[in-house]
Amino acid sequence: MQKPKVIVILGTTATGKSDLAVKIAKKMNGEIISADSRQVYKGLDIGTGKVFRDKKISKSYKLKAINYLHKGIPHHLIDVANPKRKFTVAEYQKKAIYAMAEIVKKGKTPIICGGTGFYIDAITKGTIFPQVPPNIKLRKLLEKKSVSELLKMLEKLDKKRAKDIKDKNEINNKVRLIRAIEIAKALNKVPKITQGNPVYEFIKIGLYLPQEKLKKKIEKRVKKMFADGLLNEIKKLKKPARRGESGVSQKRLSELGFEYNNPTYERVVKESVKYAKRQMTWFKRDKEIKWFDASTKNLEKSVLSKLKKDF
């Protein structure tokens, strides 16, 4: 029996993935599943470059519990989590797999779109993650340590995971280091991250831009972020939604990305460029990706031509 086909549109920040995904969805009767580790959070709109939500949603979509439409196309896995608590990759995987099944059931094409490599791998490679609840006491102890101390600890507990974090240029990601240590300690052994058997055939389309063009796009995007009210968005997140509740703490905001940690235009541009490099480092390992220059005039036509051959 032939596996259902799923389109994946991936790439670095500011390459126009979301726009292309909508165009492809309209041509190929698709629905979009976001693969962005921060667009899952409610209220993180401007800083994450979230696509705008259509003001009017038809009754038929409301009945199907689809509440995020952009340009008439249903988008899944956007605004599904509270920013005050971490939404794990295992939670994402479970929801994304469900969304894919529902889209296929309707006779439509799932289109995964985003730049979070870990999320994309979780869906396309069927990775099965160890279920380990947060250890608040351990986290408090580990947070006092420097990233170099945490890396040394992880190397003793799980050399393979430490190497993986180094290879992905994520040694300064304190949250990821702490979580890796937490998992290794909880299981009292090196956790096995196994691969399942995906029930879908994934067609991966990658978008890239030459370095100078990418930097200009990033600069333009960051300017728009500040003009659209990024600083007001941060204030709103800090403000309690209801009386007696607390807003998102500064510590938690810093975990949600550099755009939410006392941002300045220069710093956000600089960090975005570095982030784009890390994204490409991740994606370059995947030989299944067919790459397209996002600055070409006939991008949509070229991508559709490739997809029609595969479909």
Question: Residues comprising the binding site for ATP?
Answer: 11-18
Residues in Cβ contact with 178 at an 8 Å cutoff, skipping those fewer than 6 apart: 139, 142, 143, 150
Residues in Cβ contact with 207 at an 8 Å cutoff, skipping those fewer than 6 apart: 9, 10, 11, 12, 15, 16, 17, 20, 291, 292, 294, 299
> Regarding beta strands 69-70 and 73-76, do their DSSP bridges make them parallel or antiparallel, or are they unpaired?
antiparallel
Residues in the chain, total? 311
Binding residues for substrate: 13-18
Query: What's the CA gap between 215 and 272, in Å, rounded?
Result: 9
Q: Which residue, 120, 103, 113, is CA-closest to 78?
A: 113
Q: Which residue, 62, 21, 27, is CA-closest to 39?
A: 21
Decide if 5 contacts 203 (C-beta within 8 A): yes
Question: Residue 136: which H helix or E strand, with range?
Answer: helix 136-143
Binding residues: 11-18
- Is the torsion defined by CA of 90, 24, 42, 57 positive or negative? negative
